[in-house]
A and B are shown apart, each in its own frame.
Chain A
Amino acid sequence: MSRPAVLYIEDSPDDVLFVERAFSQVAPTVDLHVIPSGQAAVDYFDPAAQPAPAPETIRLVLLDLNLPGRSGHYILGQIRRASRIPRVPVIIFSASNQQKDIDACYAEGCNAYLIKPTDSDGLRQMISLVATTWLKENIPASPVLPPPV
């Protein structure tokens, strides 16, 4: 079985480093692909684009909210309404603990909203939880379904 592909949309190189490290420590089989800006994410999910890895192979999207260019809210809406993988699990991974951000993301159809932990222990626990909840080897990749009507 191939390594599960996770797309991480994040502009902060430090956060990218921490999350890559946490994955390598608690879920080393994960194949983490980083998209470093909102605009790059918009381009990636354009149905006409042919990006690598192919969107159909993505098992999980980790999405930061506060991105330069296009916000995480916008990208979540694009994934759900105008991408080739509208049913892909999307986990918001944000520093914001504002209720209005959390409510808006659930209204837009995120699968979970996680607040970035402050220290490396907390981050490891969270990534471990994400891997066991969403990336267990026996869970098949989500089938490609038509967008919700």
Chain B
Amino acid sequence: VPTVPSNNATQALIRVTGSTLDRDELQRLVRLYETILANTDDFVYIFDPQGRFLYANARLLKVWAKSLDQIVGKTCLELGYPDWHAEMHMREVQQIVRDKQAIRNQVFFTGDSGISGQYDYILKPVLNAAGEVDMIVGTTRDVTDAARAHAELRAAEEALRQANAQLADRAAQLENLVQQRTHKLSDIIGELEAFSYSISHDLRSPLRSMIGFSDILLEDYAPKLDAEGAGFLQRIGLAGRRMDRLIQDVLNFSRLSSSEIDLGPVNSDALLRDVIRSYPNLQAARVTITIEPGLPHVRANEGLLTQCVANLLENAVKFVPAGQQSLVNVTARSESGRTRLYFADNGIGIPEHSLGRIFDIFQRVGRDTEGTGIGLAIVRRATEKMGGTVGVQSELGKGSVFWLDLEFAVDPGAAAATTPALEPAPPTSFTI
């Protein structure tokens, strides 16, 4: 509801403006501005150059709980403002009268002036024809919410900054921890290598003595022993040799994980034939190993692949029922840049429940008195070290097919002359 201006207000305006307009026109104008000024939440007011109120809008009068008549001609002090507040406005009025410059400021009310919160105000001089300050027009806006939002934003920013700093600290701590752990781990690996060395020497040394003395007893004291005694001595020697092989295998297995290896093209055909030539038990009369002609080159490490192939072939010929000919068939298939080498045997086969852990260390499927349970674990670790995979299919009583999957390699000798044929080899016939 627009405030209806009182006669006093109109008279005050006529007095301060020195207007020559007639009363009706002035009243129209006053009604117009009062309507505008009553519609704002801001405080609007006018001081004279002595700091006395000439006008206050409805919003401000409501705060004061006074009518316009009651405030015209009063100073802030006379309206009951606290001293500090009244003096501040008086100083500002005097400054504006002197400098003829507007002032913008913010003030915080704690409630003793009837309002509370953060307020932003602008005091602006109105000059007369002589260029002197005639009146000072003020507007005051409640910015409590904006200030609070701003403060909250700043607090949030600060919290974010602190969180980031904490995060950076934590990251640095973690990095530090990783470095410490890495350091510790390399120490442990070093200790393990020293331990391997000590196994190699300290454990095998007494073993050599046991085997050596049991050999001497068998060789030099045979006439003094009966058949049973000689048999026991032989068993001591066999057990000692088996333990020696076990220690060697464990050492080889543990060295596989720590050693760095070089990979290059390896002629799997030549490598297989070399392995067969150097292992007497692969040339036994009861053994027939067939190698598909022209096995490809694979990307491998010659030493590791030799170990894998030797272990697989020795396994293939070992587990054959007594009196039966051992037949091993080695084939290869190359596809999509990979080569798979298959080792098929006609042995006793592996029960299905054992297939899942056959490549784990110390897993022995049957009552194999020679094996150490490490051979296939070495095959898997060595193959993985060369970026390959291993696998097995088996059927009890019919045989097993072990395979190594490695990256195909171009024959360095033939590379210049022809493009390698990557077509899959013709289907191979396994014995199972």
A residues near B (Cβ < 8 Å) are 12, 14-15, 17-18, 21, 66, 95-98, 116, 118-121, 123
Contacts and interface: CB of A to CB of B under 8 A. Distances in A.
Contact of B215 (A66, A96, A121): A121
A119 B209 contact: no
A116 B219 contact: no
Contacts of A95: 200-201, 204-205, 208
B205 A118 contact: no
Nearest to B200: A96
A14 B209 contact: yes
Among B197, B204, B208, B240, chain A packs the most CB atoms within 10 A around the CB of B208
Interface string B198-214: 00110011011101110
B216 A120 contact: yes
Contacts of A98: 197, 200
A12 B237 CA distance: 20
A95 to B, nearest CB: 5
A20 to B, nearest CB: 12
Interface residues of B, number: 18
B201 A66 contact: yes
Given A12-B205, A95-B205, A120 B212 contact: yes
B212 A18 contact: yes
Contacts of B89: none
B198 to A, nearest CB: 10
A123 B212 contact: yes
B31 interface: no
Interface in B213-238: 213, 215-216, 219, 237
Nearest to B207: A118
Given A18-B212, A120-B215, 4 more contacts: A14-B212, A18-B208, A96-B200, A123-B212
A96 B201 contact: yes
Nearest to B251: A97
A116 B200 contact: no
A74 B211 CA distance: 30
B100 interface: no
